[in-house]
Amino acid sequence: MFSIRWTIAILLLMGSEVSFAQPDQERPQTAWGHPDLQGVWDFSSDTPLNRPSEFEERAFLTEEEAAQRQHRTTQARQEQDSNPARTGSTGTYNRFWTDFPRSSKQTSLVVDPPNGKVPPLTMAARQYLDELEETRRGVDLDAPTLGGFVEDLGPRGLFVRCITGFNSGPPMVPQSYNQNVQVFQTRDHVVLLNEMVHSARIVSLNPGPPLRDGIRQWLGDSRGSWDGDTLVVTTTNFKDIVFEPARIWGGTGSRPGGEKLLLVERFTRTTADTLLYQFTMHDSNWYSAPWTARLLMAKSDEPLYEFACHEGNYGLENILAGARAQKTAD
């Protein structure tokens, strides 16, 4: 568990991104006295999940290093426009589609363990990945293993099937586009509405008995409580196939073994325009130890936009193929 002192240190070291010292009126409250977390929040970031080895135990960048990272981010974004279309695809993503990530001085999103890296996987998880690699040799990441979508969703199947988003989780992790979440509050509920795949979690603040073990959901069962000014959301009862934020496949993915996953998220409004987000993954099926990541969300004046997801990314191809077949028949 992280202390208030550790939180203050993070916010102060992040410099111009956030002003920690603020009078109470800058941190709004609801009419019923709870901290007001409502609004649209941008959780994009160019900070890697795992700390690069050259930073060792160092949690923050120097001013010069932070400027260099921001320059690399800007340069990479500009280069996207010149990306050639992928063979066999309808095109590629350019700057229009992707968010411009915000920079921070954190060397990694992972803050615990202190080395800033996701702990090693369990032996069972490594064995699964080895077997999956052999089974799927030559199969694209976005394609199902032979046998179909039902039997095997594949490493990115939850996203390709439009079941969950690849950054909305839960937990939420920065990646690519539609990195926004809107928070709604009542006296006894909080709603977390993600822009990606427009998934909504309705979090009860007065939860009844826990769900039976046999009731499993893609987004789990989320229950909330207040720890001072911090909203704590605890989620259990995930389905076997679960969102995997640790970028095992170079990006987020999905994997089995979600039955034991316990996710604890913390939301703290530190200023009028800043929401501190932290999550801890407890999953003895997959990780050798729990781990915690942390990032700052920025208040956005933009609304959420409708997210259109093409299952399997073959929607447009099939539409064109059908139209051409009809034209030929005519």
CB 314 within 8 A of CB 89: no
Question: pLDDT, tens digit, for every residue of 197-236?
Answer: 999 999 999 978 889 999 999 999 999 999 999 999 999 9
C-alpha closest to that of 152 among 140, 144, 160: 144
What are the tokens at 237? 């009862």
What contacts 158, CB < 8 A, 6 or more positions away?
164, 218, 241, 243, 254
Q: Is residue 276 scored above 90 in pLDDT?
A: yes
Question: pLDDT, tens digit, for every residue of 117-159?
Answer: 999 999 999 998 888 888 778 777 666 666 554 455 667 778 8
Please report which confidence band the pLDDT of residue 16 belongs to, taking 50, 70 and 90 as the band edges: very low
More confident residue, 189 or 85: 189
| b/e 42-81 (16+ beta carbons within 10 angstroms → b) | bbbbbbbbbbeeeeeeebbbeeeebeebbeebeeebeeee
Question: pLDDT, tens digit, for every residue of 277-312?
Answer: 999 999 999 999 999 999 999 999 999 998 888 776
What contacts 176, CB < 8 A, 6 or more positions away?
93, 98, 99, 166, 167
Strand partners, 204: 189, 223
More confident residue, 103 or 41: 41
Which helix (H) or strand (E) segment is 230 a member of?
strand 230-236
Highest-confidence segment of 2-16, 89-103, 170-184: 170-184
CB 284 within 8 A of CB 191: no
The count of C-alpha atoms lying within 13 angstroms of the C-alpha of 121, restricted to the half-sphere facing its C-beta, is 16
